[in-house]
Amino acid sequence: MSTLKIQNLHVSIDDKEILKGVDLEVRTGEVHALMGPNGNGKSTLLSSIMGHPKYIVTEGSIMLDDQNVLDMEVDQRSRAGLFLGMQYPQEIPGVTNSDFLKAAMNARREKPISLFQFIRTLEKNIAELEMDENLAHRYLNEGFSGGEKKRNEILQMKLLEPKFALLDEIDSGLDVDALRIVAKAINSMRSDDFGCIMVSHYQRLFELVKPTHVHVLVNGRIILSGGYELIEKIDEQGYDWIREEYGVEIEIEKETPRVILGSCAANVNSHQ
Ligand SMILES: Nc1ncnc2c1ncn2[C@@H]1O[C@H](COP(=O)(O)OP(=O)(O)OP(=O)(O)O)[C@@H](O)[C@H]1O
Ligand SMILES: [Mg+2]
């Protein structure tokens, strides 16, 4: 059994504190649902666990068993078994999806995967996810529809077999059939060697992938944890009752530019 343990995590972006002391412990075998109003820090938490360079950890710790995650580069975190399915997957023109997937798999193996084994694994998973085979040969996410991008994130997760998957709104953009297929793929990963943090705004995904734990993140803190009944209550009543019962002010998200992974790569058109 492995444990991902987050303690008193404070994270800032551009000198603005977004996470203000998050405590969360996830063990393999568990699926944790993370909910909360827009702009309250859910993606910030997942991106910080994965090591997005724009998010600055100012206090607290992230441990994967006895390894200090905060000391690791992103690729080391991936090799250690962490995986992020992004809310807004990036388009990377010039890199084919299959080359990307093979490189990602090989980065985690001592001996490179044989072409035969890679193609067999890829085709099996593409078929299971009912994806268009051509998507493997196109440039990564370029021109993919919203739903195709999300399925492609799940394809990556299936091939990389992480210990802990961080799935950020994996259900957004999926039609009802695709949602069922993706839920089935996540459920097929569930085992004593797999843990998951799943962010979603909607009960629908959690009806299909039943979480073992549920948390609500407001104003950069997990202010409430419980079971499935929390999801039902949020679905019926929204978040206003939390403000009343717990006396917290829920920040309204202001229009600010979002950080996307692409902003780390050289982008001649933007001067960020
Ligand atoms: N580059 C940035 N500059 C300034 N603020 C930022 C930047 N990136 C994110 N933020 C802010 O951080 C806060 C938390 O954003 P985050 O994406 O973590 O929210 P979220 O809970 O995932 O919301 P949603 O449910 O809408 O996905 C928001 O107020 C957002 O505007
Ligand atoms: Mg988000």
Contact between 39 and 239 under an 8 Å Cβ cutoff? The reply is: no
List, for residues 190-216, the tens digit of each pLDDT value. 999 999 999 999 999 999 999 999 999
Q: Is the pLDDT of residue 254 over 90?
A: no
> What is the DSSP code (8-state) at residue 191?
B
pLDDT of residue 96: 94
* Single-letter residue type at 90: Q
Instruction: Calculate how far, in angstroms, residue 251's C-alpha sits from the geometric centre of ligand 1.
Output: 11
Instruction: Calculate how far, in angstroms, residue 21's C-alpha sits from the geometric centre of ligand 1.
Output: 16
Instruction: Calculate how far, in angstroms, residue 37's C-alpha sits from the geometric centre of ligand 1.
Output: 11
Q: Is the pLDDT of residue 187 over 50?
A: yes
pLDDT of residue 245: 84
Confidence class for position 272, pLDDT limits 50, 70, 90: very low
Q: What is the dihedral of CA 132, 134, 137, 139, to 10 degrees?
A: -80
List, for residues 117-174, the tens digit of each pLDDT value. 999 999 999 999 999 988 888 999 998 989 899 999 999 999 999 999 999 999 998 9
* Single-letter residue type at 188: S
Residue whose CA lies nearest to ligand 1 atom number 26 = 38
Separation of alpha carbons 223 and 19, rounded Å: 12
List, for residues 219-251, the tens digit of each pLDDT value. 999 999 999 999 999 999 999 898 888 877 766
Residue range 19-38: average pLDDT?
Answer: 97
**201 CA: nearest ligand 1 atom:** 25
Separation of alpha carbons 11 and 45, rounded Å: 8
Q: What is the dihedral of CA 269, 51, 179, 159, to 10 degrees?
A: 100
pLDDT of residue 73: 95
CATH superfamily label, 3-271 = P-loop containing nucleotide triphosphate hydrolases (3.40.50.300)
Separation of alpha carbons 114 and 216, rounded Å: 44
Confidence class for position 108, pLDDT limits 50, 70, 90: confident
Ligand 1 pocket by C-beta < 6 Å: which residues? 13-14, 16, 18, 36, 38-44, 87, 253, 256-259
pLDDT of residue 268: 40
Strand 56-64 to strand 3-13: parallel, antiparallel, or no bridges (unpaired)?
Answer: antiparallel
Per-chain mean pLDDT for the chain: 90
pLDDT of residue 246: 80
Residue ranges of E strands in the chain: 3-13, 16-27, 31-35, 56-64, 67-68, 82-85, 92-96, 139-140, 164-168, 195-199, 213-218, 221-226
Substitution candidate for ligand 1 out of 9, 13, 202, 215 with most atoms within 8 A of CB: 13
Confidence class for position 270, pLDDT limits 50, 70, 90: very low
Residue whose CA lies nearest to ligand 1 atom number 19 = 39
Residue range 61-90: average pLDDT?
Answer: 95
